[in-house]
Chains A and B, each alone.
Chain A
Amino acid sequence: MATTTRPARTTRPTGTLSAREGMARQYDYWLTVLKRTWRGGVVSSFLTPLLYVVAMGVLLGGFIEGDPDTLEGATSYLAFVVPGLVASHAMTIAVSESTYPVMGAIKWHKTFYAQLATPLAVRDLVNAFVAFVVFRVAVACAVFMLVLAPFGVFETWWGPVLAWVGQVLVGSAFASLTFAYSARLRSEEGFGLLFRLGVIPLTLFSGAFFPVANLGPVLEWLARLTPLWHGVSLSRMLCVDRVDWSLALLHVAVLAGLTVVGWVLAVRNLDKRLEV
């Protein structure tokens, strides 16, 4: 009965709400956030990547010979670049939505503190936050894939659907990992570092724009170790219908595993951060 006999607690109680109930109670909050922010999201989520597709896929890609043997099975550069672009776009959205908004909820708006004064626990906050980001990624990627469908870049109808699931997995992996990073960060300068040393190199060298085989043996393997490459490769093999199922399984396992690791770290870091 007496707490004195027990060692001091190091973590906050995880809470007795079920995960589902914890998220359900925040539904109205995130719905309000969505109503307020979706307009801005349209530009960054749809317009920007569309410009990329036109510039890189159509205009630049027009100079590139569509040889399936050098383009990982794609019959045109457009068909090659689109699945990779969407996967890397999933990463960009997930990272952006889990940087400043997380810091804001800790430092500027103190939303997390207010939410924690209720029956909600740290775990519930992370769940709802990541779920919201994944939802945004899912919508953005779905719309994007639908828009591109008439351009003949997809070989089957089911491939792109599975590719979309893979893109959503990219979103969940990067959202939870970035959340974990942001929850530790004291000042926003760390985000500049994350974008310059993380997001941009990953976007450029994870096989979205060119086959990683072009990098040479050492760098190729380095690229294959990045989380984004798993997403790009998964997305592409499904879209161009050259599926290596055992490799696809590996991609899914890596992305799901990273999501779990990110989630555990996110909960731990946020708990530590908010215990002032």
Chain B
Amino acid sequence: MISARGLRKSFGDFEAVKGIDVEVRRGEAFGFLGPNGAGKSSTMRMIASVSPVSGGQLRILGMDPATDGPAIRGRLGVCPQEDTLDNELNVFDNLYIYGRYFGIDRATCRERAQELLEFAQITDKAKAKVEDLSGGMKRRLTIARSLINRPEVLLLDEPTTGLDPQARHVLWDQLFRLKQAGVTLVITTHYMDEAEQLCDRLVVMDKGLIAAEGSPRELIDAHSTREVAELRFGVGEHEALAGKVEDLGERVEVLPDRLLVYSDHGEDVVTAVLERGLHPLATLVRRSTLEDVFLRLTGRSLAD
């Protein structure tokens, strides 16, 4: 569906994307995971065929965005990071008028707008102004709008940023339903839980490059241990104590507020720490996540 080879994007002297290879297959949910400024959004805009490619090759649905932009865009759905809903139109018109841009006839536009209101669970808000909607509803309306042309690929740039947990789950549920209906999803996110929940496959991006690629499970297996023991000590003690526990796991990461000891047996680590006479203020044993993968690959956490 989407294939990129050595894809680059630069703005003047600044290189946002420094040559990436990506292959997205039909029907899968593909993710770009990385912190802000990793080049995810620039990549998405090139895929959306609104931002010209600075170098390398990009094919979307077998076409070149440089020459077939409108044809490609006609078959994509785009849910941008910032809502670009028209605040001066009501909810229904936002869907209806957007459909008209795709050259869909008026009757079909009306029909689909009605269906999508139901899908987004905002049927009762059809005549409401956009600004009267909650953040979650606006997001769902944006996604609904991006579906008006029945796209084969749906691009979602940071779909749940700024939403409360409940609204995120409603949205995830809808994205699952779309995937089951056969829509290919391409998602950027800096939330590792979102990437784990939604993506079949993903690439970890950092500073314009791809640091790793695989399914969430594969990435965790390849780049982290099964479990992580988190040890919280007093403020400022973590750096000094790291040396005293580093032999207990495969690896130790020092964060400002805690130590992470990577081991396949987290509980054993905690027991051994206590046996050594160390007294963490709090301990937690958990499974490794993509956050740990990212920390391992880049030495930084996803939240910058």
Could you tell me which A residues sit within 8 Å of B by CB distance? 2-4, 6, 8-13, 15-17, 21, 25-29, 32-33, 36, 109-111, 113-121, 274-276
Assess whether B166 is interfacial by the CB under 8 Å rule: no
Inter-subunit contact A3/B101 (CB<8 Å): no
Assess whether B162 is interfacial by the CB under 8 Å rule: no
Whole-angstrom distance from the CB of A128 to the nearest CB of chain B? Answer: 10
For B145, give the chain A residue with the smallest CB separation: A114
Inter-subunit contact A275/B84 (CB<8 Å): no
Bound-state CA distance A24–B149 (Å) is 17
For A13, give the chain B residue with the smallest CB separation: B69
Bound-state CA distance A36–B73 (Å) is 29
With A12-B52, A26-B101 known, 8 other A-B pairs at CB within 8 A are A3-B57, A16-B70, A28-B97, A32-B89, A110-B84, A114-B84, A116-B50, A121-B70
**For residue A110, which residues in chain B have a CB less than 8 angstroms away from its CB?**
82, 84
**For residue B78, which residues in chain A have a CB less than 8 angstroms away from its CB?**
117
Bound-state CA distance A17–B97 (Å) is 18
Q: Point out the residue from A2, A17, A117, A274 that lies within 8 Å of B57, measured CB to CB.
A: A2
**Given A9-B52, A118-B74, A16–B87 Cβ distance below 8 Å?**
no
**For residue A115, which residues in chain B have a CB less than 8 angstroms away from its CB?**
101
**For residue B33, which residues in chain A have a CB less than 8 angstroms away from its CB?**
none
Q: Point out the residue from A3, A26, A114 that lies within 8 Å of B86, measured CB to CB.
A: A114
Inter-subunit contact B69/A15 (CB<8 Å): yes
Bound-state CA distance A115–B98 (Å) is 8
Inter-subunit contact A109/B87 (CB<8 Å): yes
Assess whether B35 is interfacial by the CB under 8 Å rule: no
Inter-subunit contact A29/B69 (CB<8 Å): no
Inter-subunit contact B66/A36 (CB<8 Å): no
Inter-subunit contact B70/A36 (CB<8 Å): no
**For residue A28, which residues in chain B have a CB less than 8 angstroms away from its CB?**
96-97, 100, 106
Q: Point out the residue from A9, A118, A274 that lies within 8 Å of B98, measured CB to CB.
A: A118
Whole-angstrom distance from the CB of A107 to the nearest CB of chain B? Answer: 11
**For residue B149, which residues in chain A have a CB less than 8 angstroms away from its CB?**
118
For A11, give the chain B residue with the smallest CB separation: B52
Whole-angstrom distance from the CB of B264 to the nearest CB of chain A? Answer: 44
**For residue A16, which residues in chain B have a CB less than 8 angstroms away from its CB?**
68, 70-71
**Given A3-B56, A113-B80, A13–B74 Cβ distance below 8 Å?**
no
Inter-subunit contact A29/B66 (CB<8 Å): no
Decide if the interface of chain B is mainly helix, strand, loop or mixed: mixed
Assess whether B103 is interfacial by the CB under 8 Å rule: yes
**For residue B301, which residues in chain A have a CB less than 8 angstroms away from its CB?**
none
Bound-state CA distance A92–B168 (Å) is 48
Bound-state CA distance A227–B89 (Å) is 36
Q: Point out the residue from B56, B64, B65, B98 that lies within 8 Å of A114, measured CB to CB.
A: B98
**Given A3-B57, A3-B64, A12-B52, A111–B70 Cβ distance below 8 Å?**
no
Bound-state CA distance A116–B78 (Å) is 10
Bound-state CA distance A137–B53 (Å) is 39
Inter-subunit contact A119/B103 (CB<8 Å): yes
Inter-subunit contact B97/A13 (CB<8 Å): no
Inter-subunit contact A109/B88 (CB<8 Å): yes
Inter-subunit contact B55/A8 (CB<8 Å): yes
Bound-state CA distance A27–B96 (Å) is 12
Inter-subunit contact B101/A25 (CB<8 Å): yes
Inter-subunit contact A118/B102 (CB<8 Å): yes
Inter-subunit contact B73/A118 (CB<8 Å): yes
Inter-subunit contact A119/B101 (CB<8 Å): yes
Whole-angstrom distance from the CB of A127 to the nearest CB of chain B? Answer: 13
Assess whether B85 is interfacial by the CB under 8 Å rule: yes
